[in-house]
Amino acid sequence: MVTMDDTLTVAVRVKPGASRARVGGRFDGPHGPALVIAVNAPAVDGRATEAARRALADALGVRPAAVSLRAGAASRDKLFLVEHPAPGLPDVLRRLRDGSAG
């Protein structure tokens, strides 16, 4: 998780084809500590990536249009950009990823 001016970069590990969609947990991946997002969508034609983008937006309480893919279109390890994050958003992300109370 890196903040730069008016964007927040979020490392994500996507688990496509999950029986239950879920946002939460940590995976130490190539982009550093990543938030785990399990989605029902299969890893076909970008469907899992799109489902993960929408799930991330929902979990962070932002509009889906504020979240975009920066890297990892064909990988389970992705970087998403969140535009104009609220001041408390990094803490929300940290709780989702690490399960910490604050």
Query: What is the CATH number for 28?
Result: 3.30.1200.10
**Domain span at 10:** 2-98
Distance CA 44, CA 71 (A): 17
Predicted local confidence at residue 2, as pLDDT: 55
Residue 6: its pLDDT value, please?
Answer: 86
Number of domains observed in the structure of the chain: 1
The answer, as to whether pTM is greater than 0.95, is no
Q: What is the pLDDT of residues 81-92, one digit of tens each?
A: 999 888 888 889
| pLDDT by position in tens, the chain (length 102) | 555 568 899 999 999 999 999 999 999 999 999 999 999 999 999 999 999 999 999 999 999 999 999 999 999 999 999 998 888 888 899 999 988 544
